[in-house]
Each structure stands twice: as C-alpha cells, then as structure tokens.
C-alpha cells in the first residue's frame, strides 16, 4: 500500500535533526551567557509559554490534521476552507485573551514563581501567542494533506532566526542582569515566529487554502479541538505547575533557593535538552502517522491501519532505543565539553538525572506514538482522559517525593515515568485490535542497545575528550548493528518485496 507516512516522517526527522542542531547551538551559548540560574528562569517562563501555546495551537493543529485528512478520504473538500476559517477565529481570539491576562497580571505570576524581576518577560506573550496560533493552524492544514514539507521548512526557519537573534539579543541585554538576558532570548523567539508565520502564510495563499468556504463547520471543529487541546495541555500544565511549586519543595528537601533553581535548570534546560533529541524521531513519526490513520479509519480499513502502525513503530523503535542508550553512556564526558564553565560542581547530579530521564524518554516516545493513533481514530476524549489521569498522578508523585532529601530533584523524572506508564497502558488497552506487539522487533533493539551501552561506558571510563566520544559513538554503532543484524536483514527483505510489488503495479 502506497502511503506518505514514511516520506512525511523522513522529512520531519531531517528537519527535526537540523532544528535540534540549531536548538543545541542556541541552548549552549545561551546557558553560558545567562548561566544556570538564568536557564532556570528561562525554563520557568518557557513552561508557562508552552502551556499557553498548546492551548491556542496544539489541539488546533492536530484537529485540523485529522479533520482535513478525513474530509479528503470522503471527498468533502469543501469543508477544508470552513475548518480554516473557524480555526483562525478560535486561535486568534483565545491567544489574544490569554495574552492580555499575562500582560495585566505579569507581576503576580512572576511573584508566584519566585521570580519577581521576570515579570516583563510575560508581557511578550501578547505577541508570541497569536503568532504561535497561526503557525499551528497553517501547519495543521498542510499536515492534513499529508504534506509535511511546510512544517519542516517553517521549523528550520524558526530555529535559525531564534539562534541568530536570540543569542545576539541575550548577549546585549545580559549586561543589565540575568533577567534582561532572558528577555533578550525571548525577543529572538518573537523574531523567529514572525518569519515562520510569513513563510507559511505565503504557502497557504499559493495553495489557495486561504479562501474559506461559507460554512464554518463549528460543531465538527470544536468536537475535535476541545478534547485534543485539553489532552495536549495536560503535560505542559503539569510542567507549569511544577515550575511554580518546585523551588519551595526543593527548599523543603534541604536546598537553598539559588541551588534549587540551578538543579531545576539542569533537569529542564540541560538534561532534557540533550535527551529530547531522540524524540525528534517519535514525534515526526506520530505527526506523519496521524493523517494516514485518520484516512484509513474513515475508510474502515483495519488491516491497513494495523500494517501502518506495526511498520511505523518497528522502524521508530529500531532507531530510537540506541540513541537514548548512547546519550546516557557518553553524557559524563559530554557535559564538561559543552558546558565547561558550569558543570564543575554539578556533573554528578547531571549524569544521574540523565540515567533516570532516559527511561522516561523511552516511555514518552511510546506515549506520543499511541496518542497519535488515538487522535487519528477520533478517540479524542480517551486521549484526554488517559493524559489527565497520568498528569494527576505525576503531580502527586512530585509533591510527595521532592521534599524527601534523598530524592529531591530526581522526583521529576520518576513522576514523568509514572505519567507516561499510565497513558501507555490505557492506550494499549483501548487500541488492542490495532496495535500488535512483535516481541522480536521490540526486544532485540533493547538487548542490542544494552550491550552497546556497557561497551561504550567502559570506553568512556578509560578516556575522555572529544576524540573519546567520537570513537565511542562509532564503536557503539558497530556493536548495535552487529547484534541487531537479524532485524536489518528482515527490514531489507521487506523493502525488496515492496519495491518488486511497486514495479509489478
């Protein structure tokens, strides 16, 4: 069966790698400019911004991808313009309301977070949110057509402009203090959003998608966007809550306010930034999978859905697992190279956090994959319910474990594991007929990655420096592919069969 899942996922993975490269380039000098305390402040603001962005665009983008692909499957192309019109009214209206709230109550919000001087940063939300909303809308329309190129290009534009302007402005502004440096970084984000918006607007106009149908199709739109928005908001909401309660909880565990901010910055701004790299793969597969599952679901093609899901997960898992194990294995020598000035006193805690977060990231990837299938099949409220239950247990775990002196900041990755596990189990139960686990394809990458991890860890303990890391990566890749060779042969045979079938057609 000819699908665009592989092509779309490949485009998004490539763009994701480029974006992650520029994201790392942005985060590394930014951390050295505003220091760990500044990164802690940056992440506190970013956690609330991410939540607001999800509210105004996260659910809209996924809903449009689902609705547009479903309309295409049924030949109801006239609905697409109506979806666009309704989403623009909804997105701009909601983003303006939230932006005004942050503008009026910026001092109070900053004070609650224990970041009194950072109130001016929240005032920028009035500009950031409408731009983010429109970008999400345009991406959702194009993804619904299974065209991932505009999303990929706009993401690259965002990262390049954010790096250029964000680093430059933070460097200029930090002379007036750490908070000013963070403010400059967010000004760079505004510049990046403007350029991405202009690019996508041009694409939409060229595709003649900017002229909406006279009908709004409000009922269909809101029946999809409401649970999707609520579902996608759960995780950033828990992060926002964590950003508010984490410092007081860490103080209870024995940390000072400054050290608490620093270790929170390590968890969210250093470790998470490195370990989120493999999630490029799972997120790209999930985005590309959603419209195809929606298309096949609208045609009641169960076999097609099962085939697409199985193939997509196997390839994703084969690449994702060794990446995570590899990052955990080299992190002890990697962190001092990329953060030479700030890791002297906190390397041990960063390495330990990376190990705990590695398990969490594996479960996050599976969760993203399963939620994408739920959304594609129209199980919006199920995804929301599963996420909500997991989110509640995540916050409870955080509140209970962080004040324990022997656990402290390590409660955050543990809480994520709890959240992700609950969502995955519930989703698998709901999707029992669609998701069939091939234990050979599931377990062999894990076994091969564990062997790779042990060898690379030994190499890393014997030497240090950039050469050691490069050699360890190369050796690790060779070991992984040797032990995963049976799967490589299997994938190769399947690819040859598909090529022959296409030639016969």
- Are 409 and 446 contained in the same domain? no
Last residue of a domain, one of 388, 415, 437: 437
Last residue of a domain, one of 437, 460, 480: 437
In the three-class reduction of DSSP (H, G, I as helix; E, B as strand; rest coil), residue 437 is classed as coil
- Are 175 and 83 contained in the same domain? yes
Tally of structural domains, the chain: 2
**Tally of helices (H runs) and strands (E runs) in the chain:** 19, 0
Inform me whether the pLDDT recorded for 450 exceeds 70.
yes
How many beta carbons lie within 10 A of that of residue 121, not counting itself? Answer: 28
- Are 487 and 421 contained in the same domain? no
CA atoms within 13 A on the CB side of 353: 24
Last residue of a domain, one of 422, 437, 452: 437
Structure tokens at 41: 């402040």
How confident is the model at residue 7, as a pLDDT? 64
- Are 371 and 446 contained in the same domain? no
Residues 173-204 have pLDDT tens digits of: 888 888 888 889 899 999 999 999 999 998 88
Please choose, from the candidates 134, 142, 143, the residue with its C-alpha nearest in 3D space to the C-alpha of residue 193. Answer: 134
d(CA 97, CA 89): 12
- Are 387 and 469 contained in the same domain? no
- Are 406 and 469 contained in the same domain? no
Which range of 256-260, 290-294, 395-399 scores highest in mean pLDDT? It is 395-399
DSSP codes, 386-406: HHHHHHHHHHHHHHHHTTSTT
Inform me whether the pLDDT recorded for 209 exceeds 50.
no
**Cα four-point dihedral sign 251, 254, 256, 258:** negative
How confident is the model at residue 424, as a pLDDT? 93
Which of 172-176, 213-217, 411-415 is the least confident region? 213-217
Which of 1-5, 21-25, 84-88, 307-311 is the least confident region? 1-5
How does DSSP classify residue 465? Answer: S
The phi-psi region of residue 437 (left if phi > 0; otherwise alpha if psi is between -120 and 50; otherwise beta) is beta
- For residue 410, give Cα distances in angstroms to 89, 165, 255, 344: 42, 34, 13, 20
d(CA 365, CA 384): 17
Backbone angles phi, psi at 208, to 5 degrees: 60, 35
Return the higher-pLDDT residue of 236 and 24: 236
Angle at the Cα of 17 (from 277 to 362), degrees rounded to 5?
30
Structure tokens at 350: 């960063």
Return the higher-pLDDT residue of 103 and 51: 103
Q: 372 and 428 in contact (C-beta within 8 Å)?
A: no
**Can you give the pTM of this predicted structure?**
0.73
Rg (CA), the chain: 23
- Are 336 and 217 contained in the same domain? yes
Query: What is the span of the domain harbouring residue 501?
Result: 438-505
Which range of 98-107, 350-359, 413-422, 426-435 scores highest in mean pLDDT? It is 413-422
DSSP codes, 178-227: HHHHHHHHHHHHHHHHHHHHHHHHHHHHHTT-SS--S---HHHHHHHHHH
d(CA 304, CA 307): 5
Using a pLDDT cut of 90, give the percent of the chain over it. 24
Please choose, from the candidates 158, 164, 165, the residue with its C-alpha nearest in 3D space to the C-alpha of residue 132. Answer: 158
Structure tokens at 244: 């508010």
Inform me whether the pLDDT recorded for 2 exceeds 60.
no
- Are 411 and 455 contained in the same domain? no
Structure tokens at 448: 């091969």
Structure tokens at 372: 């994408």
d(CA 110, CA 407): 27
How many beta carbons lie within 10 A of that of residue 288, not counting itself? Answer: 27
- Are 137 and 119 contained in the same domain? yes
Residues with Cβ within 8 Å of 35's Cβ and at least 6 positions away in sequence, in order, are 178, 342
DSSP codes, 331-380: HHHHHHHHSTTT-TTTHHHHHHHHHHHHHHHHHHHHHHHHHHHHHHTT-H
How far does CA 110 lie from the centroid of its chain?
A: 25
- Are 253 and 289 contained in the same domain? yes
Return the higher-pLDDT residue of 363 and 204: 363
- Are 459 and 374 contained in the same domain? no
Backbone angles phi, psi at 284, to 5 degrees: -65, -45
DSSP codes, 290-335: HHHHHHHHHTT-HHHHHHHHHHHHHHHHHHHHHHHHHHHHHHHHHH
Q: 273 and 27 in contact (C-beta within 8 Å)?
A: yes
d(CA 162, CA 193): 8
- Are 421 and 488 contained in the same domain? no
């Amino acid at each position: 069966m000819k699908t665009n899942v592989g092509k779309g996922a490949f485009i998004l993975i490539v763009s994701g790698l480029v974006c992650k490269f520029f994201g790392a380039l942005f985060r590394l000098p930014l951390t050295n400019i505003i220091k760990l305390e500044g990164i802690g402040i940056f992440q506190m603001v970013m956690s609330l911004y991410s939540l607001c962005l999800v509210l105004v665009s996260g659910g809209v983008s996924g809903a449009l991808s689902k609705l547009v692909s479903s309309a295409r499957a049924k030949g109801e192309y006239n609905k697409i313009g109506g979806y666009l019109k309704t989403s623009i009214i909804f997105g701009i209206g909601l983003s303006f309301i939230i932006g005004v709230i942050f503008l009026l109550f910026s001092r109070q919000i900053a004070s609650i977070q224990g970041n009194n001087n950072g109130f001016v940063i929240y005032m920028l939300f009035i500009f950031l949110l409408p731009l983010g909303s429109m970008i999400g809308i345009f991406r959702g329309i194009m993804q619904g057509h299974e065209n991932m190129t505009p999303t990929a290009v706009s993401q690259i534009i965002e990262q390049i402009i954010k790096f250029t302007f964000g680093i430059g402005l933070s460097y200029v502004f930090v002379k007036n203090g750490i908070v000013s440096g963070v403010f400059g970084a967010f000004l760079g984000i505004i510049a990046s959003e403007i350029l991405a918006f202009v690019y996508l607007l041009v694409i939409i106009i060229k595709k003649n998608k900017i002229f909406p149908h006279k009908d709004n199709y409000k009922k269909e739109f809101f029946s999809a966007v409401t649970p999707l928005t609520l579902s996608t908001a759960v995780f950033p909401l828990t992060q926002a809550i964590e950003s508010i309660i984490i410092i007081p909880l860490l103080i209870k565990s024995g940390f000072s306010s400054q050290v608490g901010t620093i270790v929170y910055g390590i968890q969210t701004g250093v470790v998470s930034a490195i370990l989120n790299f493999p999630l490029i793969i799972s997120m790209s597969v999930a985005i590309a999978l959603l419209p195809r599952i929606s298309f096949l679901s609208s045609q009641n093609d169960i076999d097609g859905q099962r085939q697409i899901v199985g193939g997509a997960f196997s390839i994703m898992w084969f690449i994702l697992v060794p990446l995570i194990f590899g990052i955990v294995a080299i992190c002890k020598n990697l962190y001092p190279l990329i953060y030479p000035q700030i890791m002297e006193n906190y390397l041990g805690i960063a390495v330990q956090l990376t190990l705990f977060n590695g398990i969490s990231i594996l479960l996050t990837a599976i969760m993203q994959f399963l939620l994408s299938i739920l959304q594609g099949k129209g199980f919006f409220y199920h995804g929301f319910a599963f996420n909500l239950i997991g989110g509640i247990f995540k916050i409870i775990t955080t509140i209970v474990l962080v004040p324990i002196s022997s656990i402290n900041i390590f409660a955050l990755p543990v809480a994520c594991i709890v959240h992700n596990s609950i969502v995955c189990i519930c989703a698998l139960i709901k999707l029992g007929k669609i998701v069939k686990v091939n234990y050979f394809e599931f377990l062999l990458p894990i076994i091969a990655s564990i062997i790779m991890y042990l060898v690379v860890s030994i190499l890393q303990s014997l030497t240090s420096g950039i050469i050691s890391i490069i050699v360890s990566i190369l050796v690790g890749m060779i070991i992984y592919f040797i032990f995963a060779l049976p799967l490589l042969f299997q994938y190769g045979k399947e690819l040859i069969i598909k090529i022959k079938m296409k030639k016969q057609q």
